[in-house]
Amino acid sequence: MALPTRVLHGQSEYDPAREFDTMLSRWFGNRQSEGGSLAPYGVDVREDQDHLYVEAELPGFKKDEVEITLENQTLSIMAERRSEKNDEKKGDLLLHERRYSRFHRSFTLPSTVSDQKVNAKLADGVLTITLDKREETKPRKIQVS
């Protein structure tokens, strides 16, 4: 299977590479891609006999800011949020940390996944994508005669 594997060190979900990326982004002022940076949100991928599930953290994103594509067994998730203009809100801006952010992840799906039926739902800051497996690849019971 071509999906990335997440390795837990002990029982902790601490990811030093992710922490280092976050530190560098803060140190250099998030100067990547039009004044924003790639959002460091996590993604989990799991499967059962009938489905493959992709769950991505997308806090603060609205569903019209999220785009999902499936082409040639590659699932891509993109989300983009622009900063709000100060004139849309009353008062002087004293601190401005909520600005442009972008999320983009792509996964090569195994050949067992069907591209015919895909369901996506965004609720409570978590995007859940459910992909059906192909019928011919699902385990089946054989009757003994």
The string of pLDDT tens digits covering residues 62-120 is 999 999 999 999 999 999 987 766 556 678 878 777 777 888 999 999 988 998 889 99
Torsion angle, alpha carbons of 7, 10, 12, 14, to 10: -60
Look at the alpha carbons of 14, 17, 22, 27 in this order and tell me if their dihedral is positive or negative. Answer: positive
With a threshold of 0.85, does the pTM exceed it?
no
